[in-house]
Amino acid sequence: MWKGRFTGERSDLLKQFGESISFDWRLYKHDIRGSLAYAAALERAGILTPEECAAIQGGLREIEAEVERGDFVFHTDLEDIHMNVEAELTRRIGRPGAKLHTGRSRNDQIAVDLRLYLRDAIAAVRDRIRALQRALVGFAGRHEDLVMPGYTHLQRAQPVYFAHHLLAYVEMLDRDMGRLGDTARRMNVLPLGSGAIAGSTIPIDREFLARELGFDGVTQNSMDAVSDRDFACELLAALAICGMHLSRLSEDVILWASAEFGFIELSDQHTTGSSLMPQKKNPDVAELTRGKTGRLYGNLIALLTVLKGLPMTYNRDLQEDKEPLFDSLDTIDLTLALYAEMLDAARMDPARTAAAVSDPLLLATDLADHLVRKGVPFRDAHGIVGKLVGESARSGVPLNELPAAMYREASEFFDEDVEKLFDIPTALAARKAPGAPSSVNVRSRLEHWRSLLA
Ligand code: ARG
């Protein structure tokens, strides 16, 4: 493509070092889409005759079909997807093919290809997130009345509905949806027509190109346009955060699947055995999800590091943007799909959660609240109940079974109703503020998500 200036062949090692076709072939559809529109813009600019434009577009479509069939041979010698497509086009249709790159550089070409590709990729990830949200809501709905201990510091804290716990992840995933949506919106401006750095003397109608390619507008600075990869960083950051959410969910699942908790039963299809220990049933999906979060973070840091020292404008370093992007997209895609499948096939063990939640200490705060309602300052109430908890711990008598006399001695406001304070459904029903886990609230959030995700 640049043989005019050079006499010798490139070193074989440089060819190996500099090629990107082994991974950027994935951009073929979007590269061709950009070129189809660009040919039309060249025709409008009077550079191509209608016949030449038609020949180019016909050739590009043939190439696309061939790649789709798996018949297209990519050449490492031709470095990247742009040159592979262009060289084959010119081989097929001759002279008109050699006009396609007029006023265009691979610098603005890769910038537009990437935006087109990522726009579709983001839409696909968003569909996957919705599907996982549906799986979470479905799982919650199958155990709507299940109550379990909620934890802080991984210590039993207060009772919650299992559905409330799962819906916390639905909220997290919804913020991921928002971040991905923001990224897609901000990214959706056309860089094509920026040339290598300073636009072109050829009058390319960029507004026309933007309309053809479904962009909301055109970039306003050619130097920024060819070197900007903010959108790639934003996407990698959004995927890293989404991975962090999935990793936290995984940690819960792994704990719940342990014999110590025994809250969840994962299906045989979504667990693995041990080559040594016959009894093992391992939650590999959750463990690998937690592990793969490392590469999602790594890919973000890799790209940020590539970008931090770049002088204006395009530098070849930018070619290093693709593998982190593809890797994070592939990782999140498979993880989200598999997670939804695993949750659809999982079930909770109500006997185990009921045993755990019967711990009366989970309602110690409610005892204090009872005193507060009678006018006792909260700090005093906290101390009074703390003493009773201490008695229970020392004597081994469960908090709810301490003698009534001991309660009355602790506070005159512990009347004959103490028993009632240990009723979990009553305790949950009293948590009525928006966001708190009363059954009414949890049911209404389930309804909200069901209709939103329908
Ligand atoms: N393969 C290159 C990339 O991914 C395309 C742009 C190359 N531009 C250049 N002037 N060498 O960034």
Sequence ranges of the domains in the chain: 12-102, 119-144+161-355, 359-453
How large is the average pLDDT for residues 404-419? Answer: 91
Per-residue model confidence as pLDDT tens digits over 209-258: 999 999 999 999 999 999 999 999 999 999 999 999 999 999 999 999 99
Query: Phi/psi zone of residue 103: left (φ > 0), alpha (ψ -120 to 50 degrees), beta?
Result: left
Note the CATH architecture for domain 12-102.
Orthogonal Bundle (1.10)
Helix (H) or strand (E) holding 218: strand 217-218
Q: How would you label 292-323 residue by residue, b for 16+ Cβ within 10 Å and e otherwise? A: bbebbbebbebbeebbeeeeebbeeebbebbb
How large is the average pLDDT for residues 319-323? Answer: 98
pLDDT tier at 200 (50, 70, 90 boundaries)?
very high
From the candidates 11, 22, 258, 274, which is the catalytic residue? 274
Per-residue model confidence as pLDDT tens digits over 26-72: 999 999 999 999 999 999 999 999 999 999 999 999 999 999 999 99
Under a CB-based contact definition with an 8 Å cutoff, are residues 97 and 56 in contact? yes
The tokens of 274 are what? 């041990």
Calculate the average pLDDT of the chain: 97
Q: Give me ligand 1 centre to Cα 110, in Å.
A: 7
* pLDDT given at position 417: 77
C-alpha–C-alpha distance, residues 231 and 325, integer Å: 11
Under a CB-based contact definition with an 8 Å cutoff, are residues 283 and 346 in contact? no
Closest CA to 28 of 303, 71, 200: 71
The tokens of 276 are what? 């040594």
C-alpha–C-alpha distance, residues 220 and 313, integer Å: 15
Per-residue model confidence as pLDDT tens digits over 275-312: 888 888 999 999 999 999 999 999 999 999 999 999 99
- DSSP-derived letter for residue 273 is -
C-alpha–C-alpha distance, residues 450 and 136, integer Å: 10
Residue whose tokens read 């009347």 = 415
Q: Which of the following CATH numbers is that of domain 119-144+161-355: 3.40.50.300, 1.20.200.10, 3.90.226.10, 1.10.150.20?
A: 1.20.200.10
Q: Give me ligand 1 centre to Cα 319, in Å.
A: 6
Look up the CATH superfamily of 359-453: Fumarase/aspartase (C-terminal domain) (1.10.40.30)
C-alpha–C-alpha distance, residues 26 and 68, integer Å: 11
User: Using a 6 Å cutoff on CB, does residue 3 contact ligand 1?
Assistant: no
The tokens of 12 are what? 């074989």
Among protein residues, the one whose CA lies closest to atom 3 of ligand 1: 319
CA 160 to chain centre: 27
What interhelical angle do 106-142 and 81-93 show, nearest 10?
Answer: 120
245 given a catalytic annotation: no
pLDDT value at 149 more than 90: yes
* pLDDT given at position 104: 98
pLDDT value at 330 more than 90: yes
Q: Give me ligand 1 centre to Cα 21, in Å.
A: 11
* pLDDT given at position 5: 83
22 given a catalytic annotation: no
